Copies of this chain bind each other. A is one copy, B any other.
Amino acid sequence: MAGPVTLSDVAREAGVSLATASRAINGSPTRTVGPELRARVLAAAERLRYSPDANAQAMARGRTTSVGLVVHDIADPYFSTIARGITHAAGRAGLQVILASTEQDPTREVEIVGLLRRQRARAIVIAGSRYDDPALTTGLRDALDEYLASGGTAAVVGQPVLGTDTVHAANAKGARALARALHARGYRDVAVLGGPAHPLTARERREGFVSELAALGAPVPDERVLFCGFDHEGGREAMTRVLASGSRPQLVFAVNDLVALGALAAVRAAGLVVPDDLALSGFDDITTLRDVVPGLTTVRIPLEHMGAEAMRLVLEPGGGAPRVVEVATETVLRDSTPALV
């Protein structure tokens, strides 16, 4: 008797029609069921341990109850925090979250959107920086267009370059504010661990920081702006390069906290100490790092909130032009960048 219990089984057991059983169990927008029959059906369902088949329901109703979430790496605190905001909002809306990871390969976003389209996901949230790469952008846009044409909605947590609704952190502004704050603390001689060239998030932060410093009369020489991986290893490697070049900046700005962490490792490996020998700043204000010693100066981004906002965009009507929600950042000065005397 392991065979799955279907609604017909329940109907038969309760001595009612399939339709009545359906209405009693899953409700009906129009019809209603008499209390007595309803009770009989519910009892039968309980007795048979009936569990409605969500797939069948989805097919019959013409829409699923799942939303797709695309991340580059769910183990990265940046994405996992956004994911928390999303799962929470999804839960409240009675929706399932299908989690898909590109595993750091932006080209996979296209495949994943296709996958999510096949799943008939009701909505898709793509978390993660957009790229300064026309091929990537148009490829993804095409995939999204096909998805949207099939009736879904989509939002991006990143930059508004796909024509979709977008939640956009004020990276450039945040980086500028940080630059001003650090300049005010006396830093002049700085190096930038700038992340990869193409992700716009890295670029916004990098260029925002550099240009503001230039405006303040403390330009960063080009050779002091390094490109590197957007993660711990990238930071470690780039910082190693900086130190190997024999230069020792007063301050190192890393485009996110993980890069800063990698830089910290390299600094330690070189026998130097933050902030005594070198000041260090990150970006994101990852939760896990908020109480380490020395406190890491950074720019706070409300990641969880951004995830929730993306869900809101994707679930609410929307209508006209793509909506862009700008999210403010907050400069967080800590011990890793003490004021210079």
Number of copies of this chain that the complex holds: 2
Which residues of B lie under 8 Å from residue A53 when comparing CB positions?
59, 118, 120
Q: Which residues of B contact A289 (CB under 8 A)?
A: 288, 292
Question: Which residue of chain B has the shortest Cβ distance to A53 in the bound complex?
Answer: B120
Asked if A220 CB lies within 8 Å of chain B CBs, one says no
Name the distance in Å between A141's Cβ and chain B's nearest Cβ: 14
A71 to chain B: closest CB distance in Å? Answer: 9
Given that A51-B114, A59-B56 are contacting pairs, would A96 and B75 also be in contact in the complex, using a CB cutoff of 8 Å? no
Whether a CB of chain B sits under 8 angstroms from the CB of A247 is: no
Q: Is the CB of B91 within 8 A of A146?
A: no
**A9 vs chain B, min Cβ distance (A):** 13
> Does A207 have its Cβ within 8 Å of any Cβ on chain B?
no
Contact B286 A264 (CB under 8 A): no
B91:A51 contact, CB within 8 angstroms? no
Query: Counting CB contacts under 8 A, is A73 at the interface?
Result: yes
Instruction: Give A279-299 as 1s and 0s: 1 = Cβ < 8 Å from B's Cβ atoms.
Output: 000000011111111100000
Point out the residues of chain B lying under 8 angstroms from A84, CB to CB. Answer: 73-75, 101
Residues of chain B within 8 A (CB-CB) of A75 are 77, 80-81, 83-84, 287, 304
B115 engages A88 (CB within 8 Å): no
* Cβ-based interface call for A52 (8 A): yes
The answer to whether B97 and A51 touch across the interface, beta carbons within 8 angstroms, is no
The complex places the Cα of A66 from the Cα of B118 at a distance, in Å, of 13
Q: Which residues of B contact A69 (CB under 8 A)?
A: 99
Contact across chains for B288 and A288 when beta carbons are under 8 A apart:
yes
Would B96 and A97 count as touching, CB distance under 8 A? no
CB distance from A276 to the nearest CB of B (A): 11
Taking CB atoms, residues of chain B closer than 8 Å to A59 are: 53, 55-56, 59
Question: Which of B66, B81, B118 is in CB contact (< 8 Å) with A51?
Answer: B118
Taking residues whose C-beta sits less than 8 angstroms from the other chain, chain A's interface range is 35 or more
Task: Tell me which of B87, B261, B288 contacts A77 (CB under 8 A).
Answer: B288
A91-B101, A289-B288 given as contacts; is B83 within 8 A of A96 (CB)?
no
Q: Does A310 contact B (CB under 8 A)?
A: no
- Interface set, chain A 52-76, CB cutoff 8 A to B: 52-56, 58-59, 64, 66, 69, 73-76
A93 CB to nearest B CB, Å: 13
CB distance from A288 to the nearest CB of B (A): 5
Give the chain B neighbours of A2 by CB distance below 8 A: 149-151
A94-127 contacts to B (CB < 8 Å) = 96-101, 103, 114-115, 117-120
Considering the complex, give the chain B residue whose CB is closest to the CB of A295: B268
Chain A window 312-328, contacts with chain B (Cβ cutoff 8 Å), 1 for yes, 0 for no:
00000000000000000
Closest to A56 in B: B59
Nearest residue in B to A293 (C-beta to C-beta)? B293
A296 to B: closest C-beta gap in Å: 9
User: Of B80, B115, B146, B304, which one neighbours A96 at CB under 8 angstroms?
Assistant: B115
6 inter-chain pairs at a CB distance below 8 angstroms, sorted by A residue, are A87-B101, A97-B99, A98-B98, A265-B290, A268-B293, A289-B292
* 6 extra A-B contacts, CB within 8 A, seeds A52-B118, A83-B99, A97-B100: A56-B59, A69-B99, A96-B115, A261-B291, A265-B291, A293-B294
